[in-house]
Amino acid sequence: MSDDPIMIGVDFGGTSVKIAAVFQSHIIDHAPPIATQDFETHGELIDEMVRAIEDLRARHPKIAAIGVGMPGFVNFETGLVYNLTNVRDWQEIPLKAILQKKINLPVAVDNDANCMAFAEWKCGAGRGYQHVVFITMGTGVGGAIIANGQMIRGARHGAGEIGQTSIDYRGRRGAYGNLGALEDYIGNGEITAKARDAYHEAGIQKSLQECTPAALATAAYAEDAVALALWDDVGRMLASAVMNCCWLLNPEAIVIGGGVARAGEILFNPLQKHLFPQLSGPFKDHLVILPAVFGHEAGTVGAAALAREMI
Amino acid sequence: MSDDPIMIGVDFGGTSVKIAAVFQSHIIDHAPPIATQDFETHGELIDEMVRAIEDLRARHPKIAAIGVGMPGFVNFETGLVYNLTNVRDWQEIPLKAILQKKINLPVAVDNDANCMAFAEWKCGAGRGYQHVVFITMGTGVGGAIIANGQMIRGARHGAGEIGQTSIDYRGRRGAYGNLGALEDYIGNGEITAKARDAYHEAGIQKSLQECTPAALATAAYAEDAVALALWDDVGRMLASAVMNCCWLLNPEAIVIGGGVARAGEILFNPLQKHLFPQLSGPFKDHLVILPAVFGHEAGTVGAAALAREMI
């Protein structure tokens, strides 16, 4: 469908704001990334985003709408960004209204995990499924839920926070007061710290830089016993939270993306090994566990997919 | 609306099958209960159910449809009952097709927790909400999920099994191989056994009959320290599973029913005490925890409400 419109996808990260022109699920052009922390006020940063979007629009007049993925809680209906913990001057910002007024195009604003899920659901690994749980594993652990062929946002647009669900009711208290939050067990930093300790116990001294998930994946593929045991443990803890999603939502597919998930089968194999024996027939017989298709571009492609839904 | 049709609600339990004629949410007539275990084959039991339904129909010619709640996994679309673990000769029974043929009225078949949820959602504590988690606490712990104003059944009609979700990824293995299943911590029998042990440790000898949830509720209201501590613990464990539902689904309301929930505020107070500090603003600010409105009649009223949806 060559007369499909072109969408702008904005992936607003704590480090940089990436802005791309997206046709179907392909990035056809992009603006230079904007350094998020260079701006004192939300107004200056938004003005810079508007300039970048207008530049893209000048080159692609068929741009029909703008989708924005934000790293924090968003009211999807009003497009209000409640609070960004890592960016200055971003409390209660009506981003959708501001952008629509400045650019005069339809704008959708959602949280970044929902955008990732949209990319995978509409054009990626989750395509064609009606019941899907998406998980993104990185510094934090996020997620999103599709049920009955719809995104489930919940009463206050907060749904899908699998990283905040508990895998141990007696676990330690996390960022939101929750005990035993999955994110506190398998977030990027936690994996790294746990690996360094495990190597230390095995009499091997490693720096934190040598214990990143990427380094641990390489080590595991080279049959490093410490790394293999660590990924097995990550798979076991992830399996518990995924199992809870399965008993609650009975999905057809679990789609997992994010930096940590790039470890590949060294993560997916233990996950499946621990997950399937904890589910009965109707919950596991047709269940598939799939790696996300989109990598770094999931944010922009997803935000563009969200914009496409809206028009 | 006095020209509302009358529905038949069937609550198929392991002990008895209750059949009622329901107008709106009121039972206006009922058949004598059928003793489930008196029948050798599913065919004989179904024939007895048909006789009871036809008797009711003779007295209420305006009966328009039949809803049936079953204590096991059901394919809601086809009305196939997969398996009842506690009733002889109930494997792969196409109950909907059989009843429709014999009675010549529309029939809906669902699991009993979904029927309970339907009763509460359509006419009870959950009325008017678009995002609700229902929990029923008895011998087992069951549940159902409403999101986006729809019942979420999942890919194979199994969704809502909160009792099988884990509150401890290193917990002991439950009925379906799942580790740390909520039901294994706060099911009726588990509460009773735990209470007897707690009394024993306190130097008080009690029989299991003296430690039922009903007896423990009475004791707690009389300031019995052992009983109070036990209900606090039940509330803490339930809070962990409910919290997971909140982070995943961001509901407006949690509705809790079943025999154990009749303990009332002695259960609901600890639940709230442990739950709310584990949720952030958008997840707790408008959240209400409600006791179910319907008691023993939730099964028949719910099955009737389900039938009403269908016609």
B134 → chain A, closest CA residue? A248
Sheet holding B132-137, edge to edge: B150-151, B141-147, B132-137, B253-257, B288-291
Token pair belonging to A143: 């997620």
Query: Do residues A105 and A228 touch, judged by C-beta distance below 8 A?
Result: no
The CATH number for A129-291, chosen from 3.30.420.40, 3.30.70.3340, 3.30.950.10, 3.40.50.2300, is 3.30.420.40
Backbone angles phi, psi at B123, to 5 degrees: -135, 5
B292 has a pLDDT exceeding 60: yes
pLDDT digits (tens, 9 = 90+) for A91-101: 999 999 999 99
pLDDT digits (tens, 9 = 90+) for A277-292: 999 999 999 999 999 9
In CATH, the architecture of B128-291 is 2-Layer Sandwich (3.30)
B171 → chain A, closest CA residue? A168
C-alpha gyration radius of chain A: 20
* Inter-chain Cβ pairs, chain A and chain B, closer than 8 A: 164
pLDDT at residue B2 in the model:
55
Query: Do residues A288 and A242 touch, judged by C-beta distance below 8 A?
Result: no
Average pLDDT score over residue span B125-129: 97
Average pLDDT score over residue span B277-289: 96
CB contact under 8 A, A155 and B251: yes
pLDDT digits (tens, 9 = 90+) for B93-115: 999 999 999 999 999 999 999 99
CB contact under 8 A, A244 and B166: yes
A258 has a pLDDT exceeding 50: yes
Question: In this structure, is the dihedral angle defined by the CA atoms of residues B153, B12, B122 and B105, taken in order, positive or negative?
Answer: positive
pLDDT at residue B233 in the model:
98
Average pLDDT score over residue span A39-65: 97
Does B180 lie at the interface with A, CB-CB under 8 angstroms? yes
pLDDT digits (tens, 9 = 90+) for A79-91: 999 989 889 999 9
Query: Do residues B11 and B113 touch, judged by C-beta distance below 8 A?
Result: no
A151 → chain B, closest CA residue? B148
Confidence of residue A2 (pLDDT cuts 50, 70, 90): low
A4 has a pLDDT exceeding 90: no
Tally the C-alpha atoms within 13 A of residue A21's C-alpha that lie toward its C-beta: 20
pLDDT at residue B4 in the model:
82
**Rounded CA separation A182/A164 (Å):** 6
Confidence of residue A311 (pLDDT cuts 50, 70, 90): confident
CB contact under 8 A, A250 and B278: no
A215 has a pLDDT exceeding 60: yes
pLDDT digits (tens, 9 = 90+) for B6-65: 999 999 998 999 999 999 999 999 999 999 999 999 999 999 999 999 999 999 999 999
Token pair belonging to A32: 């230079």
pLDDT at residue B83 in the model:
87
Compute the mean pLDDT over every residue in chain B, rounded to the nearest whole number.
96
A120 has a pLDDT exceeding 80: yes
Does A236 lie at the interface with B, CB-CB under 8 angstroms? yes
- Parse chain B into domains and list their residue ranges: 6-117+297-310, 128-291
Nearest CA of chain A to the CA of B144: how many Å?
8
Whole-angstrom CA distances from B22 to A158, B7, B112, B310 are 38, 5, 17, 15
pLDDT at residue B20 in the model:
98
pLDDT digits (tens, 9 = 90+) for B146-204: 999 999 999 999 999 999 999 999 999 998 999 999 999 999 999 999 999 999 999 99
Nearest CA of chain A to the CA of B30: how many Å?
34
Q: Is the pTM of this model over 0.90?
A: yes
A245 has a pLDDT exceeding 50: yes
Whole-angstrom CA distances from A165 to A29, B158, B167, B240 are 38, 21, 10, 8
Does B150 lie at the interface with A, CB-CB under 8 angstroms? yes
Confidence of residue B310 (pLDDT cuts 50, 70, 90): confident
Sheet holding B80-83, edge to edge: B74-75, B80-83, B91-93
Q: Which CATH class is domain A6-117+297-310?
A: alpha beta
Backbone angles phi, psi at B267, to 5 degrees: -100, -45
B1 has a pLDDT exceeding 60: no
- Select the residue of B145, B157, B179 nearest A278 (Cβ to Cβ): B179
Confidence of residue A1 (pLDDT cuts 50, 70, 90): very low
**Which of A157, A166, A236 to mutate to test binding with chain B, by most B CBs within 10 Å of its CB?**
A166
Surface of A (23-62) touching B: CB under 8 A: none
CB contact under 8 A, B154 and A147: yes
Does A128 lie at the interface with B, CB-CB under 8 angstroms? no
Q: Return the percentage of chain A with pLDDT > 70, whole number.
A: 99
Contacts of B247 in chain A (CB under 8 A): 158, 161-162, 164-165, 178
pLDDT at residue B5 in the model:
92
